[in-house]
Chains A and B, each alone.
Chain A
Amino acid sequence: MSTMEGAKTSIASRITGRLVGVLAIAAFAVYAVVSVFPFVTMISGSLKTNTEVLTNPWPIPVNPTFDTLVDTWNALDFPTLLVNSLIIAGLSCLLILVIFPLAGYAFAVLEFPFKRVLFAIFVGALFVPGVTVLLPIVILDQQLGLLGTPWAVVLPIVNGAAPIAIILLRAYFSSVPFELHEAAVLDGCSPFGIYWRIYFPLSRSALITVTVLNFVAAWNEYVLPALTNDDASRYPLPVGLQALLSSNVVQWNQVMAASLLIVVPIIVLFVVLQRYFINGLQGSVKG
């Protein structure tokens, strides 16, 4: 980048440019290390024995072992936790993808009574802290007989996703050229037909963005399942991980191994879908 202005400028400023370039590269590298530091910590911790994790704070294990990962997998009954987490995250994303694109489309394209009020309510809900309604939600789950089922976690998560999902999808649908809409109307397409055949397929980036954001939120949700469920066979991954840390003698190598197992699916999901995910986020801001 220092070569861009290079040729015409004096040697002095070229040296300054070099220096700035070197400093910039150093800053890039330092922040990259900070960004991935917890993941490095998880990988190195999960490759150490319990003795080594207490004595060797450096990332490279002296005697790397896969025993820790295997032990943790068995101690946690990992497949059960994984299935429970997949149920919660899968159901949440499915419901979110059915419900909120419809609403986002209506707010972006259609005219109907109470449109502004309803939209304002959904946006306003963004600023009611989750912890403020947490107790009533747990009581409601109990009244509806949902305690112990995935729905006790899924329905509040889906409802909590409403503001951001609706704002994002409305913004994205608003950017679809209106000529497409008019052409479809002239061809005799119904409102639902226009939504399903034109808007839904065109908004792949926004839909993926909403899905990734909420999959991660549901995958990481610790508080709701811990409060609505006391049957260990129905715990999702975060509650299982928490149980590992609350034992009397914390085995940090196992905690790191379990953390790694929780984080890897998210990282894979993000890396695979990131092109759509980031475009969707940026598109909704650019409008």
Chain B
Amino acid sequence: MSGSRSLLTSAGTSAPRRRASSRRLGGRFTGLLFVAPAAALFAVFGVYTIVYGFLLSFARWNGFSPNWTWTGIQNYLDLLGANPPLASSVRVAAQNTLVVMIVLPIAVSAIGLVLAVMLNSVRRFRALLRTVYFLPYVTTGIAVFYAWRFVYEPNGSLNAILSALGLTSLVQREGFLGNPFTSLAAVLFVLIWANVPIAMLLYLTGLQTIPESVVEAARVDGASSVRTLRSVILPLLNPITALVVIIQLREALQNFQVFLLMTNGGPVDSTQVLGLRTYQLAFLDRTTDLGYASALGWMLAAVAIILAIVNLRILRSRQ
């Protein structure tokens, strides 16, 4: 299935015909000229910052003194356990990040799939519903984070709705972000809300590439709609699911703004995640060493890159 192939195959695999013809075009280096502006910008803001950050992760620096003190892998060791207070804050952040990494891909692909199947089966209002469902994805940012914060306030609308429905036991007197037992779920809900639309759109695209005849054949064979969905449609959507999972794992590891702007990690570290901890080490905890921020950032990057490679392998092997 062509699903996500075009997004993920590497550049060099175009047809030989194409290669023969483009050779007639200008010199061999014309392509490099086209890529030059992007590459130049990336050399400065990409390569330089990546190398700088990577080197800093092996050094100690307070941000002001002219020189770095090289410490080898000490920053990494400190974060992993050699510096107990620091390591314990990292462990809490890692646990919460893991929860987000598990819940976000599952919830987003499940809800996205259901919405896509439902949208695909209606004619009326399809365009309107698609617009409404897609709004969270394009608007997500500080403004909607604050709107959700207000909803979660002690005197906010969520508590009001729960008491109106008679679910008084679920009402949170200190607000949903003020209670360490509900805060992570409350922020996670916002992340899910913001990410469902892209999964829905990808699944909708996948559903539209499934030939009507395949679904019809299953129906003629007497399969129920649920059975058709499970045994015929879902397997055909596997590449899309893999893509959704990659995007959501990336989001789970990288999105720290939602935590910064909704809770800043609190209360009592209940919403502390690795990305936010990295940010705090770099910009908020003025007393610490900037090498720690870099080292933690690179540990996060290592997880992100390994997961991406594993995912792409699985995706390729299925095609």
Contact = CB atoms under 8 A, between A and B. Distances in A.
Interface residues of A, number: 108
Contacts of A61: none
Interface in B124-170: 129-136, 138-144, 146-148, 150-151, 153, 155-157, 159-160
Interface in B227-250: 240, 243, 250
B144 A111 contact: no
Q: Which 9 A-B pairs have the closest CB atoms?
A: A287-B6, A112-B31, A220-B141, A132-B297, A57-B160, A106-B34, A38-B147, A110-B31, A136-B49
A65 interface: no
B82 interface: no
Interface residues of B, number: 106
Interface of A, helix, strand, loop or mixed by DSSP: helix
A222 B282 CA distance: 16
Interface string A253-287: 00110111011001100110010001001101111
B32 A256 contact: no
B18 A109 contact: yes
B44 interface: yes
A10 interface: no
B118 A27 contact: yes
Select the residue from A31, A98, A100, A120 with max chain B CB neighbours within 10 A.
A31
B73 interface: no
A37 B133 CA distance: 11
A36 interface: yes
Nearest to A258: B143
Contact of A135 (B21, B53, B121, B206): B53
Contact of A255 (B23, B130, B146): B146
B304 interface: yes
Nearest to A239: B142
Interface of B, helix, strand, loop or mixed by DSSP: helix
B141 A238 contact: yes
B222 to A, nearest CB: 12
Interface of B: 2-7, 10-12, 14-15, 17-19, 21-26, 28-32, 34-35, 37-39, 41-42, 44-46, 48-50, 52-53, 56, 111, 114-115, 118, 121-123, 129-136, 138-144, 146-148, 150-151, 153, 155-157, 159-160, 193, 201-202, 204-206, 208-209, 240, 243, 250, 253-254, 256-257, 260-261, 275, 278-279, 282-283, 290, 293-294, 297-298, 300-301, 304-305, 308
A102 B35 contact: yes
Contact of B148 (A38, A124, A139, A223): A38
Contacts of A55: 155
B150 A185 contact: no
Given A58-B160, A159-B42, A216 B138 contact: yes
B293 A127 contact: no
Contacts of A125: 42, 46
A71 interface: no
21 contacts: A1-B122, A27-B114, A38-B151, A55-B155, A103-B37, A108-B14, A115-B31, A124-B305, A127-B305, A129-B301, A135-B53, A155-B41, A162-B38, A185-B21, A220-B141, A241-B146, A245-B146, A259-B143, A260-B143, A262-B141, A282-B201
